[in-house]
Amino acid sequence: MTVFRFVVVSLLAFLLLSPMIKTIFHEVEKPIVIVAQDNSKSILIGKDSAYYRKDYPDAMNNLIKDLQKDYDVKQLSFGDGVKEGIDYTYTDLQTNISQLFEEVNNKYNGRNVGAVILATDGLFNEGSNPIYSSKSLKTSVYTIALGDTTVHKDLILSSINFNKVVYLGNSFPLQVNIDARELGGSSTQLTVSKDSTVLFKKQVDIATNNFHTSVQVILDAKTKGIHHYKVKLSPVDGEITTTNNEKDLFIEVLENKQKILLVAAAPHPDLAAIKQSVESSDNYEVKTVMIDKFDGNLNTYDMVILHQLPANTNPANNLLTLIKNRHIPAWYILGSESSIGLFNDLNLGLMILDSKGKTNDVLPTFVKDFSLFTLNDQTLKDLDKFPPLVAPFGAYKIMTNTYPMLKQQIGSVKTDYPMLYFKQDGENKLCVLAGEGLWKWRLNDYMLNQNHESFDEIITKTVQYLIVHDTKSKFKVNAKHSFSENEVLQFDAEVYNDSYELINTPEVHLEIINKDKKSFPFNFSKTDKAYTLKAGYLPVGDYTYNASVKVGDHTLTATGAFSVSALQVESNETIANHSLLYTLAKNHGGAMVYPRQMSELTKLIHTLDNIKSVSYEHKQLKDLINLKWVFFLLLSLVTAEWFLRKRSGSY
C-alpha cells in the first residue's frame, strides 16, 4: 500500500512538469502512374473502329490491373476537357492535349509521379502543340499510338472562311477550301443552300491524289437576322467517311456597324490592345485619334473611349462637353497622365483625393454580386492571374448608384477602392477604369491560353453594355446570337420596377423552341440584383426563345433567336499523327507502343530507376497527461490501495 501511494504521488508530481511524448509515424506512398485516354471522335475514324469499341477497352483495363499491383494508377479521359476515369464512348468534339498536361501539372505537382501513359491518335485541334506544352512535365511519358496512319480515299470540306456578321444590302464572300486524297480523276459537286433553296452550285474536278483547291462563293445579304447556310460536297465512291463532306454556317445580318471613337492623350500600347479586342466582334468599328488631332465631330460615333483624358497636358474640354450634351456613352480610362483634379470636377461617381500625381500597381478583384452582365468561368479564373495595372494613387470615394465590377488589390490587401465601375445618370451611360496597362492583360491572356478570349470578353462586354441603346423596357434578356454545339447556353435577364430600379424578387421563366416546335422550359437563377441561366447544351439548329416574368399584376415578355452550330474539326483529319507521339515519348525518356503491344508497358515502366516508393516521416508531440492509459493507471493504483485498506480494516 505504501508503494502504491508512493507511485501515485510520484506520477502526479511528474505530470505537473508537463512532460511530452514524441511519436514517429512512417507512411509509404506508391509511385503514381497516370493513364490518360483520348475520348474524341477521331479515334473511331478508320478501319479499326470496331476494335476500339470492343477489344481495346479490355486490353486497357488489363494493363491498368497489372500496373495497380505496384503503382497507384490514376485514370483520366481528355478531349473537350479533362475528366476523372476512363471513358470509351469517343464522343468529345475537340482534342486538347495541352490542357491534359496542364491538369497533370496542377493536380499532381509535388507528388511522386513516376510516369504518364498517353493513349491517343496524336491529332489535336485545340490548345497549343503538346511538344511544347509538355516541357513542364518532370516525369517519363509513354504513348499508345491509336488510330490509322494509312492514307485512305477521302474528300474533305476542310474549312470555310467567312464573316460571322455582315450588313444588310451588301454582298459577302465565302472561301470554301476543299482537300481530297487518293481520289484523282473523280469529281464532286459543291452546293451552298439556305433552307431548301440552292444558292450556288459548281462541279469540282479532282485532278490528283493529293488535291487542294479553294472556291470563292458570293452571296447577298437581303434580310436581317440569323441565316443558316449549308455547304456540301457530293460523296465520291470509296470514301472512308462522308461526315467531313458538309458544314453548317450561321451568319448574322445587321443593319449597320456601330462606330467607336478611341481618343487618347498620347500614344500608348493600350490603344492597340483595346482596338484589336473591340474589333474582334464584327459589330464594331474603332477609330483611334490623339486629342490634339480631334476635329470636334462626334456625329457619326455611337460611343467614345477616353484614354487618360482629361490629361495634365490637355483638359479636352470641347470633347467632354460634346459627350455630355449629346448623351454619348463614354468609357474613361485613368492612368499616370490623367488630371485627377479635372476628372473629379466631372462628377462621374468617383472622387480620388490626395492623389499628388502618384500611382499604385493594383491587381483586379471581381465583385461577386456584379449584375449588369456575366463573365464566363474561364475569364474569372484568368482575372486572378492578370498582372497589375497602374492606377492613380489616392483615397477613392465612390458615390451611390454605381455598379463596381472590379475592385483594387494593392499587394496582398484587398480594398474597396473601385478599379472598374459603371454608372448611368439619366441618359448618360458611362464606366471608369482606374488603371492603365491593359496591353499586359492581353499578352498575359495569350500566354495562359494561347488566345485572347478572356481579355476580349471583358472589353467587348463592357463596350456592349455601354453602347446598347436603353429602351427603358422593364424586362430585358441578353444572350449571344450564335453558340457552338459544345458551348453552354447562357442567358442573362434584368427586371425593373416602376421606379426603374433593378429587382429580382419575381420568378423569370424561359422557353426555348426548336424548328420542330418542341419546347424546353427553364427557370432563371437569381443573382444579387438580376438573373442568370445556364441552359446546358442543345443540338445543332436554329432556335427561338420566349421569356416571361410577372411583376405585380402585369406579365412582361421578351423574345429572341439564336443558333447552335456544329463542330466538325474531329473529322477534318483522318490520318493519325504517330510522329508527334514518338517525339513526345522520346523527349521524356519513354517509348511509343501500339495498342496490341500495350501489355509491354508494365515491363518498360519497371525498368525505370526513378520510379520508387517514397517514405514520409511524420513526428507528433503530445502531452503525456492527455494519454488515457495514464489516467487509468493512476485510477487503478488508488483503487487498489483503497481496496486493500478496506480489506485489512485500516483507514
**Average pLDDT in the 476-483 region?**
86
pLDDT on residue 309: 96
Read off the pLDDT band of 650 (50, 70, 90).
low
With 70 as the cut, is the pLDDT of residue 427 above it? no
**Higher-pLDDT residue of 96, 224:** 96
User: 258-467 has which fold?
Assistant: Rossmann fold (3.40.50)
The dihedrals phi and psi of 515, each to the nearest 5 degrees, come to -70, -20
Q: Judging by DSSP bridges, how do beta strands 303-307 and 482-484 pair with one another? A: unpaired
CB-count burial class (<10 Å; 0-12, 13-18, 19+) for 514: middle
pLDDT reading at 578 higher than 90: yes
What is the rounded CA–CA span in Å between residue 286 and residue 301? 9
Q: What is the enclosing helix (H) or strand (E) of 79?
A: none
| DSSP states along 195-215 | TTEEEEEEEEE--SSEEEEEE
Contact of 215 with 209, CB cutoff 8 Å: no
Residue 168 corresponds to which cell in the numbers above? 444588310
Please report the DSSP string for 301-345 in residue order.
-SEEEEES-SBSS---HHHHHHHHHTT--EEEEE-TTB-HHHHHH
Per-residue pLDDT at 519: 94
Q: Give the range among 51-60, 366-375, 576-585 with minimum mean pLDDT.
A: 366-375
Report the candidate in 386, 389, 390, 378 with the shortest Cα–Cα distance to residue 447: 386
Strands 531-534 and 525-526: antiparallel
Question: Hey, CA dihedral for 433, 434, 439, 445, is it positive or negative?
Answer: negative
Q: Return residue ranges of the chain for CATH 3.40.50.880.
A: 258-467
Rounded-to-integer distance, Cα 626 and Cα 138, Å: 45
Mean pLDDT to the nearest integer, 600-605:
92
For residue 471, pLDDT over 70 is answered with no
pLDDT at 84 over 80: yes
- The tens digit of pLDDT for each residue in 258-303 reads 899 999 999 999 999 999 999 988 788 999 999 999 988 898 899 9
- Here the cell at position 522 is 427553364
Per-residue pLDDT band for 149 (boundaries 50, 70, 90) equals confident
The answer, yes or no, to whether residue 472 has pLDDT greater than 90, is: no
Q: What angle do CA 213, 216, 220 make, to 5 degrees?
A: 160
Share of the chain above pLDDT 90, in %: 58
* Residue 629: predicted pLDDT: 84
Q: Say whether pLDDT at 34 is over 70.
A: yes
Instruction: For 456, list phi and psi in degrees, rounded to 5.
Output: -60, -35
Which pLDDT does position 157 carry in this prediction?
A: 93
For the cut 60, the answer to whether the pLDDT of residue 651 exceeds it is no
- Nearest by Cα to 465 from 419, 389, 405, 407: 405
Q: What is the pLDDT of residue 17?
A: 83
Between these two residues, 638 and 101, which has the higher pLDDT value? 101
Listed range (34-43, 112-121, 335-344, 498-507) with the worst mean pLDDT: 498-507
Using CA atoms, how far apart are residues 443 and 452, in angstroms rounded to an integer? 8
Domain span(s) for CATH 2.60.40.10 in the chain:
154-255
Query: Domain 31-149+575-612 belongs to what architecture?
Result: 3-Layer(aba) Sandwich (3.40)
Q: What does the pLDDT look like over 244-253, one tens digit per residue? A: 899 888 888 8
> What's the sign of the alpha-carbon dihedral 10, 14, 16, 17?
positive
Strand partners, 21: 622
On average, the pLDDT of the chain sits at 90
154-255 is classed CATH 1.10.1060.10: no
SS3 415: strand
Worst-scoring range by mean pLDDT, 89-93, 378-382, 478-482? Answer: 478-482
The yes/no answer on whether domain 475-565 falls in CATH 2.60.40.1220 is yes
Which residue bears the cell 430600379?
501
- In sequence order, which residues have a C-beta less than 8 Å from that of residue 517 and are 6 or more positions away? none
**0.75 surpassed by pTM:** no
CA distance 326 to 343: 19
* Grid cell of 148 as nine digits: 490509322
- Helix axis angle, 453-467 to 269-278, nearest 10°: 80
**Residues forming CATH 3.40.50.410 domain(s) in the chain:** 31-149+575-612
524-to-482, 547, 647 alpha-carbon distances in Å: 20, 10, 81
Name which of 141, 88, 94 is nearest 113 in CA terms: 141
Task: Classify 110 as helix, strand or coil.
Answer: coil
Can you give the pLDDT at residue 550? 93
The SS3 of residue 166 is strand
What number of other Cβ atoms are within 10 A of residue 617's Cβ? Answer: 8
Is pLDDT at 470 greater than 70 in this prediction? no
Q: Out of 12-26, 101-115, 357-371, 485-499, which region has the weakest mean confidence (pLDDT)?
A: 12-26
Give the mean model confidence (pLDDT) for residues 507-527.
Answer: 94
What Cα–Cα distance (Å) separates residue 186 from each residue in 11, 177, 206, 247, 573? 100, 17, 5, 21, 20
Q: Give me the residue label for grid cell 458551348.
A: 487
